Amino acid sequence: MLEFANDSLEFSIGLFLISALAIVISGTFMTAIADRLAKETGLGEALMGALFLGFSTSLPGIVTSVAAAAGGYPELAIGNALGDIAAQTAFLGIADITYLETNLEYSAATAATLTQGTLLIVLLAIPLLAVGYPSVTFWGIHPASFGLIAAYLFGLRLVAAAQSLPMWKPNNTGETIVDKPEAAEPNSPGLIGLWLRFFLLAAVLGVAGYGVEQAGVFIANSTSLSQNVVGSLFTALSTSLPELVTTVVAVRRGALTLAVSGVLGGNTFDVLVLALCDVAFRNGSIYQALTQREVFVLALTILMTGILLLGLLRREEHGIGNIGFESVFLLLLYVGGFALVFFSN
């Protein structure tokens, strides 16, 4: 953890606000560049979101969780990773509110995003299996960590195949925005220039996100809350701010697949963080540190992802307040679930 030169609440709040502003600015520009790269490179919004945008926005959470695990705080590490997933999934509900034309999932359903969501549920189930299995480790690493990496790599191939050569696809509607490769825009800096700008903005986003997280940790710790509450609620919300910005910006640009894939891609990276935490944690398997609260958050993330998939399959055009039933349930589950975690502290 960073040590502030002046450990005061005012300093922490100032750092939080400055970092948050940097996230809003850099995230806005980075999302626009990601949208252009998805079209000009032919990668498509699904893969661009799953790989590059998802990883870039997950950097603050990755650093926080791995540092916590290496420092001997397994509950904080796990709580932050799982809390990130729940918060980012709920952010799709917020993005749906900002998309006024139709329900977001009505317009953004693709074979690739459905494959991503299914992969995420598979990855989330592996730590649950590790909890009930004897704590066998190899070089201090639980077999579940190897399983997470293997499942992710195999699933990524399925996502790429679902995008490039889908065996089935949802019917296009009048509101569907088809993701197609496009020629470079006039006066474009070229692919190399776009990639350099993207990674530069990703670095700014990572540093600003880490600053938000550090300020959030200091503010939360001043209330003497448990590792689980600090990790699953306060630091998770802090490190998830980049995802909120990029998701809303992508939706407002009409890059709907990029928005959904960015969240799902970031979530799969956050599950992989558990494997990195297992490597960094040297006091046995980190999965054995899962308490009842972490198992509850893990089950909550699986439930929220399943509801998101139902929304993508059902494709409700308009719902209550012009948002789909899945968005309503995602927001209610997130607020209700973490209220239980907070008040049961």
Domain boundaries defined on the chain: 9-169+190-343
Buried b (16+ CB within 10 A) or exposed e, 218-232: bbbeeeeebbbbbbb
Check if the beta carbon of residue 248 is closer than 8 Å to that of residue 95. yes
Rounded to 5 degrees, what are φ and ψ at 138?
A: -125, 115
For the segment 286-300, the average pLDDT, to the nearest whole number, is: 85
pLDDT given for residue 149 in this prediction? 93
pLDDT given for residue 332 in this prediction? 92
CA–CA separation, 152 vs 230, rounded Å? Answer: 28
| Arithmetic mean of pLDDT over the chain | 78
For the segment 332-343, the average pLDDT, to the nearest whole number, is: 83
Q: Rank 115-119, 175-179, 255-259 by mean pLDDT and report only the highest.
A: 115-119
Lookup: tokens for 199:
């990674």
Question: Which of the two residues, 25 and 168, has the higher pLDDT score?
Answer: 25
Report the run of H or E that residue 190 belongs to, with start and end.
Answer: helix 190-221
Q: Please write the tens of the pLDDT for every residue from 193-232.
A: 888 988 888 888 778 767 766 776 676 666 665 555 555 5
CA–CA separation, 45 vs 65, rounded Å? Answer: 28
pLDDT given for residue 172 in this prediction? 60
Buried b (16+ CB within 10 A) or exposed e, 105-126: bbbbbbbbbbbbbbbbebbbeb
Residue type present at position 27: G
Check if the beta carbon of residue 53 is closer than 8 Å to that of residue 224. no
Q: Is the pLDDT of residue 4 over 90?
A: no
Q: Rank 79-93, 95-109, 141-155, 206-220 by mean pLDDT and report only the highest.
A: 141-155
Return the DSSP state at 185.
Answer: P
Check if the beta carbon of residue 135 is closer than 8 Å to that of residue 279. no
CA–CA separation, 272 vs 147, rounded Å? Answer: 10
User: For residue 147, what pLDDT band results from cuts at 50, 70 and 90?
Assistant: very high
Return the DSSP state at 324.
Answer: -
Q: Is the pLDDT of residue 246 over 60?
A: yes
Lookup: tokens for 236:
């998770």
Other C-beta atoms lying within 10 Å of the C-beta of residue 186: 5
* Domain 9-169+190-343 is found in CATH 1.20.1420.30: yes
Q: Is the pLDDT of residue 233 over 50?
A: yes
Q: What is the distance between the terminal CA atoms of the chain, rounded to a whole angstrom?
A: 23
